[in-house]
Amino acid sequence: MLKGIPKILSPELLKVLAEMGHSDRLVISDGNFPAESMGKDAIVIRCDGHGVPELLDAILQVFPLDTYVEHPVNLMEVMPGDDVETPIWDIYKEIIRKYDDRGDAVVGNIERFAFYEEAKKVYAIIATGESALYANIMLQKGVVTD
């Protein structure tokens, strides 16, 4: 046990977050995301009993977002023709505002299939049991300054 570390961050996940360097990326995926096939060249960490918001909140307590790119956070765009609401994105933005002074400006969107291509290049994928649709989020690590 450690003090000051959110309990949801397992030793395996903490190790991966610490190993990541500036500009490395990770995906926190929903339960429908093909984490194992997308993560063939990445570290895949299973967090099936958890949702994306609780993991995002815990990760951003220890993980700086990149300040050298416009959108260090990216969401998977809803496909044209899909009649899907994404209220979870508002929850993500609320969490991000707690940890980054740039607020919603750090959040971008990536077309679904482009998101998959980018996901194949990330350092790690955290596979959750999140049931919300289009709940995948990609984070780019910044520099620790303090």
Give catalytic residues, as residue numbers.
22, 66, 116
Distance CA 92, CA 28 (A): 11
With b meaning 16 or more CB within 10 Å and e meaning fewer, what string describes 128-143?
A: bebebbbbbbbbbbbe
For tokens 């990216």, the residue is 74
Question: Which neighbouring-strand residues pair with 125?
Answer: 27, 44
Q: At residue 42, what are phi and psi to the nearest 5 degrees?
A: -130, 175
Distance CA 88, CA 76 (A): 12
